């Protein structure tokens, strides 16, 4: 009996073990088979994160700044080991947070402003040894929700499941990360 318990304990520890995720920049995707969520790309737009919206990147017309180097076609991030930031060229960067209403948001360019009660720590990006391939991210050990916007136009805002406990007409999903080639936007 002791050998069965020992084997089960060892097997359980192996299944729960994590492998470090790839270093560097990444993009986000939503994975929820059969959910009907539009596409899988999660983009930064207007201070929040969305499915079904393009990134709201911009580059100022400043002498000597070559905006062609920042096409802004993807939302690229860095971190995921407690904190998370948009991978941008704007001085000071843009930090990702979970707002008091549970919405996943980010700070404006050149500012550290975020709503009172926002949380900037608790993001965890990892690869499960038992799962094999996907590199996933959670917030304080929980998944995320995609909630339809007020217009029901096929656009979904991203929320942290830990904060929003009643999903209502929202869809739970696993946030996956995919390696990217660094800075894609000056700012969002």
Least confident among 1-5, 35-39, 74-78: 1-5
Q: 39, 181, 160, 173: which is closest to 96 by C-alpha?
A: 160
pTM as predicted: 0.85
pLDDT digits (tens, 9 = 90+) for 33-46: 888 776 789 999 99
In which residue are the tokens 């969002």 written?
188
DSSP letter for each residue of 19-63: EPPPSS-EEEEEE-TTS--S-SEEEEETTEEEESS----B----T
pLDDT digits (tens, 9 = 90+) for 113-132: 999 999 999 999 998 766 56
In which residue are the tokens 């560097």 written?
24
DSSP 8-class letter at 142: B
**By three-state DSSP, how is residue 38 classified?**
coil
User: Is the per-residue pLDDT at 10 higher than 80?
Assistant: no
């Amino acid at each position: 009996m002791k050998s069965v318990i020992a084997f089960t304990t060892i097997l359980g520890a192996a299944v729960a073990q994590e492998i470090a995720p790839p270093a560097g920049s990444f993009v986000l995707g939503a994975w929820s088979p059969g959910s009907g969520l539009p596409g899988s790309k999660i983009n930064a737009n207007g201070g929040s994160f969305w499915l079904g919206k393009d990134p709201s990147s911009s580059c100022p017309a400043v002498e000597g700044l070559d905006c062609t180097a920042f096409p802004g076609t993807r939302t690229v991030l860095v971190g995921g080991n407690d904190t998370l930031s948009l991978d941008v060229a704007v001085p000071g960067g843009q930090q990702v947070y979970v707002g008091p209403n549970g919405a996943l948001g980010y700070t404006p360019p050149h500012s550290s402003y975020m709503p009172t009660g926002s949380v900037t720590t608790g993001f965890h990006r990892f690869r499960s040894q038992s799962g094999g391939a996907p590199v996933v991210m959670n917030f304080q050990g929980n998944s995320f929700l995609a909630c339809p916007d007020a217009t029901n136009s096929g656009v979904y805002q991203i929320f942290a499941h830990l904060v929003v406990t009643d999903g209502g007409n929202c869809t739970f999903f696993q946030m996956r990360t995919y390696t990217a080639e660094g800075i894609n936007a000056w700012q969002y």
